Structure 1
Amino acid sequence: MKAVYATDLSAASQAAIETETCLHCLGRIGVEEFHLVTVVPANVHSGMPGIDFEKRRKRALRRYRDVIEGEGFAVETHVVRGTPHRRINGIAETVGADLTLVGSRGKSPLENRLIGSTTRNLARTTVTPLLVTRIERGVDEPAVVRRHTFQRMLYATDFSTNAAHAFEAFSYLKNATQEATLVHVETPKDPEPSAEDDPRDRLEELADRLEGWEIDTRIDVRQGDPAEEILASEAEHDPSTILLGTRGHSRLRRLLLGSVSEDVVARATGNVMLVPPSQTV
């Protein structure tokens, strides 16, 4: 597997890259090659007096590369100019990446409503599964909030095609996952389920698949607002990462990510992994 790691070279990004446990987790799910990407925004001019942004970023990326290569991964670096999320997605498509990673500081009152623009735009437009790694905020030397990235997964499903596609990520996550919580939220708008369409039974079928991979699994059927209940389930079960499927990438979706996904990415305590719809026809 190939992974694109998008970094702004901040202390938070450095913390994620230098946490060996996180790298080991990625190795366990099959990542063998990293593409480190940093984007110089289009409005930053290389000719600004006394500053060579591209050279500084290349030097910083070399330090990151040395750390990752030291853990046995192949690494390529990319310093590019433009709109960050577009360039990151473009490189992911060009290299045939299987996963994109980005670090995000923990939630603040502002981030409850508005997450960082690059993370938000990647969440809306990603062409690969996107792992948002949560980093501590408000400290001088930030660290990742959940060191064992895939050890305890919380998978939220509305039983849609997109959610089913996200569940298939367990085919490689299973090598690093020990526990899973399967969550479905019933809302007042949902039709009354038939006897053969009971959500608990459907979750039990998914749980049987995970148990076959020796993943200890529990189910959690809740009622209420989906985002609120997924976050409540996170608080109760303390997963390392929440796994969600996302919807398509129409113009409207680029302007407004589904409220469930955006709320969870912005407000979750731990990591969030978003899986876009399959691109195969």
Structure 2
Amino acid sequence: MTDQVMAAIDGSQFSTAVCDAAAWASLALAAPLTFLHVVDNHPQTAEADLSGNIGLGSREHLLEELASLDEKRARLAQEQGRLMLEAAKSRAIENGVAEPGIRQRNGELVETLAELEDDIRLLVIGKRGEAAHKASEHLGSNLERVVRSLHRPILVVPEAFETPRQVLIAFDGSKTTRKGVEMVAKSPLFRGISCHVVMVGAEVADMRSQLDWALMTLNDAGFEAHGEIRAGEVEESLRSYQQEHAIDLLVMGAYGHSRIRHLLVGSTTTGMLRKATVPVLLLR
């Protein structure tokens, strides 16, 4: 099934919001919705060196027990995932989605999404997964790897989701953010939502020209568009604007090919994601 909204769910506290955000996106885009759960079957118990003070027979017996436990754990994880998928499907139907699909795969989330990428129009994922630390500014490692690997728009959802009414486009005139403005202008996802475009930097002719282009593009598409150039530090300026205008959806460009390989997303994007209390749509 091509051109679908795909929502990755797990046992984290973000999964309910992911369900609601995915249902909203599916209905707005008139696109099929599929919920995905990936069972990671990598053994949780490491094989220890048991050959010291016990005999070989005892060691083999323990390894057999460990293998049996891993097999049982995998079956339970699969069943738990199936129940989560059924619950997500029911919630989406309650939200108005006619026939949401469910898929369960074995393997790793990032590799699975890479295999399914051609079918994905929009990926919806929680800010952190069930295995991530619950610190408020921590990003799940899976999320960072997904953002690096996938070349599709990714909607990153916090613990709660409400239908957006005000969207903020973080704009710098780059090719990615110009493409983002054009996508917002064309996409049914944003119909009926007020758009704000913010540039951070000095009020110079080139910046004003770029902002005017963005506002004209949105206005021509029928949007109520507002724009501003703000001086100051990028993250702080965007966050202040968001709070002042009750913005409930951020649109940002993700990273490029950073020379520093451990930087998975651009520093501004990473900072905004870590502290975001509203959904963030990342564009590539």
Q: Contact between 1:5 and 1:100, CA under 8 Å: does it hold in 2?
A: yes
**Separation of aligned partners in 2, 1:167 and 1:68:** 29
Equivalent position amino acid for 1:120 in 2:
E
CA-CA distance at 1:249 after TM superposition: 4.9
Q: Contact between 2:9 and 2:18, CA under 8 Å: does it hold in 1?
A: no
1:121-160 equivalent positions in 2, closer than 5 A: 121-135=145-159, 144=160, 146-149=161-164, 151-160=165-174
1:7 alignment partner in structure 2: 9
Q: 2:180 aligns with which of 139, 158, 166?
A: 166
Q: Does 1:228 align with 2:236?
A: yes
Identity of aligned residues (%): 20
Equivalent position amino acid for 1:14 in 2:
T
In the superposition, the TM-score normalised over structure 1's length comes to 0.78
**Separation of aligned partners in 1, 2:157 and 2:260:** 26
Q: Contact between 2:6 and 2:123, CA under 8 Å: does it hold in 1?
A: yes
Q: Contact between 1:89 and 1:127, CA under 8 Å: does it hold in 2?
A: no
CA-CA distance at 1:88 after TM superposition: 2.3
**Separation of aligned partners in 2, 1:74 and 1:250:** 40
Could you say if the C-alpha distance between residues 216 and 159 of structure 1 is closer, same or farther in structure 2, counting changes exceeding 3 Å? same
Which runs of no fewer than 5 residues in structure 1 stay unpaired? Answer: 136-143, 277-281
Q: Contact between 2:169 and 2:197, CA under 8 Å: does it hold in 1?
A: yes
**Separation of aligned partners in 2, 1:31 and 1:243:** 20
**Separation of aligned partners in 1, 2:116 and 2:171:** 30
Equivalent position amino acid for 1:63 in 2:
A
Q: 2:279 aligns with which of 271, 278, 281?
A: 271
Aligned length: 251
1:102 alignment partner in structure 2: 125
1:139 alignment partner in structure 2: none
Q: Does 1:185 align with 2:185?
A: no
CA-CA distance at 1:117 after TM superposition: 1.7
Q: 1:77 aligns with which of 84, 102, 120?
A: 102
Equivalent position amino acid for 2:197 in 1:
L
Could you say if the C-alpha distance between residues 174 and 22 of structure 1 is closer, same or farther in structure 2, counting changes exceeding 3 Å? closer
2:268 alignment partner in structure 1: 260
CA-CA distance at 1:175 after TM superposition: 4.7
Structure with bigger gyration radius: 2
2:79 alignment partner in structure 1: 55
Q: Contact between 1:25 and 1:176, CA under 8 Å: does it hold in 2?
A: no
Q: Contact between 1:183 and 1:220, CA under 8 Å: does it hold in 2?
A: yes
* Residue-by-residue CA offset, 1:23-80 (whole Å, 9 max, x unaligned): 245412x142112111222424651369521122112212222332452344332222
What CA RMSD, in Å, does the superposition of the two structures yield over aligned residues? Answer: 2.8
Q: Contact between 2:167 and 2:195, CA under 8 Å: does it hold in 1?
A: yes
1:243-254 equivalent positions in 2, closer than 5 A: 243-249=251-257, 252=260
Could you say if the C-alpha distance between residues 271 and 219 of structure 1 is closer, same or farther in structure 2, counting changes exceeding 3 Å? same
**Separation of aligned partners in 2, 1:9 and 1:31:** 27
Which runs of no fewer than 5 residues in structure 2 stay unpaired? Answer: 45-69
Q: Contact between 2:5 and 2:25, CA under 8 Å: does it hold in 1?
A: no
In the superposition, the TM-score normalised over structure 2's length comes to 0.77
Q: Contact between 1:152 and 1:177, CA under 8 Å: does it hold in 2?
A: no
Equivalent position amino acid for 1:203 in 2:
L
**Separation of aligned partners in 2, 1:10 and 1:156:** 29
SS of structure 2 residue aligned to 1:60? helix
**Separation of aligned partners in 2, 1:267 and 1:234:** 12
Q: Which protein is richer in strand relative to its size? A: 1
Q: Contact between 1:133 and 1:270, CA under 8 Å: does it hold in 2?
A: yes
CA-CA distance at 1:253 after TM superposition: 5.0
1:239 alignment partner in structure 2: 247
Could you say if the C-alpha distance between residues 50 and 35 of structure 1 is closer, same or farther in structure 2, counting changes exceeding 3 Å? closer
SS of structure 1 residue aligned to 2:116? helix
SS of structure 1 residue aligned to 2:11? coil
CA-CA distance at 1:115 after TM superposition: 0.9
